[in-house]
Structure 1
Amino acid sequence: MEIRTDLQQMDLDAVYRFLSEHSAWAKGLPRSIFNKSLQHSLCFAGWDQGQQVAFARVITDHATFAYLVDVYVEEAARGRGYSKMLMQQLLSHPELQHLRRFVLVSSTARGLYQQFGFRALAKPETYMEILQADIYRNFADQS
């Protein structure tokens, strides 16, 4: 699998389609918001034999903090080690070295992430959030 980080070389329509149709976390996400999120992230796409088969996005300041999101492998390409290859390439990227904190939220694939050093929060009582779960329900997409 070849990993690309240049947005110009990614099939962003395929990424949006997968996320909006198959993920619980991006259902209803307007395309304009999706496009904006890509511009402010470090993105990784995995390609095999001319097909994009995997994707991940990292929101980061490139110095101290990173948040891993939107990780997936196409269903037809699962079981081939692509998720591990994607994680290896992602974690070795020069812009993601020497970070103080690298976080993710996952209800699935926890075993995968644990293989790469991710653990439960050391102090979950210190984390807080503003969650607006239905924020895009009535959003007028500008795309």
Structure 2
Amino acid sequence: MLTITRGDGYELSDDPRRIDIDRVHRWLSTESYWAKGRSRALVARSIMGSTVFAAYRTTDGAQVAFARVVTDGATFAWLCDVFVDRAERGHGLGTWLVSTARDELAARGVRRILLATADAHGVYAKLGFEALVEPARWMQLDQRDQG
């Protein structure tokens, strides 16, 4: 397990046992634009099937940020559900989570990481992400509205 402590009172871990599922569910289902209404069971299942990264305050151990990666661990990864608690924003926690995930995936040999964002292009660009060169090659099957 990965654990990194910064001198400003934050710790980053990839230990899924430390994830506060209730807190992550609240963030995603009520505060995010991409996962509004997502059930707690679905959040828990998505965490169990992913590689997770989270930041915690060292003073009280409270989780203050979250990101997950869906990956085969060899060739491809999808970075998603990146969220920093509103009260903790401005400390570089999102950048720290994403750069750590990027570096950990690179160490495993993963060379392609995708993500989708409506409003944080600048944050991700600082870390090397860019628009798809050939978006016409990519397709999707979106069945979210299927009953």
Q: Where on the TM-score scale, by shorter chain, does this alignment land: which range? A: 0.7 to 0.9
Equivalent residue runs for 1:18-97 within 5 Å? 18-48=27-57, 49=59, 50-93=61-104, 97=108
- Paired with 1:95 and 1:115, the residues of 2 have a C-alpha distance of 17
**CA separation of 1:96 and 1:72: change in aligned 2, threshold 3 A:** farther
Aligned to 2:3: none
Q: RCO (CA 8 Å, sep 6+): is it higher in 1 or 2?
A: 1
* Structure 1 stretches lacking a partner, 5+ long: 139-143
Contact map agreement 1:7 1:43 (CA 8 A) in 2 = yes
CA shift for structure 1 position 35? 1.5
CA shift for structure 1 position 96? 5.6
Match of 1:109 among 114, 117, 120: 120
Provide the TM-score with structure 1 as the length reference: 0.87
Match of 2:130 among 108, 119, 124: 119
Worse-superposed segment, 54-63 or 124-133? 124-133
CA shift for structure 1 position 132? 2.6
RMSD: 1.6
Provide the TM-score with structure 2 as the length reference: 0.85
- Paired with 1:107 and 1:78, the residues of 2 have a C-alpha distance of 18
How many pairs are equivalent?
Answer: 136
Runs of 4+ in 1 over 6 A off after TM superposition: none
- Paired with 1:127 and 1:68, the residues of 2 have a C-alpha distance of 16
CA shift for structure 1 position 111? 0.5
CA shift for structure 1 position 98? 2.1
**CA separation of 1:95 and 1:34: change in aligned 2, threshold 3 A:** farther
CA shift for structure 1 position 95? 7.1
* Structure 2 stretches lacking a partner, 5+ long: 1-9
Percentage of matched positions with identical amino acids: 40
- Paired with 1:73 and 1:96, the residues of 2 have a C-alpha distance of 25
**CA separation of 1:39 and 1:85: change in aligned 2, threshold 3 A:** same
Paired amino acid for 1:9: R
CA shift for structure 1 position 36? 1.3
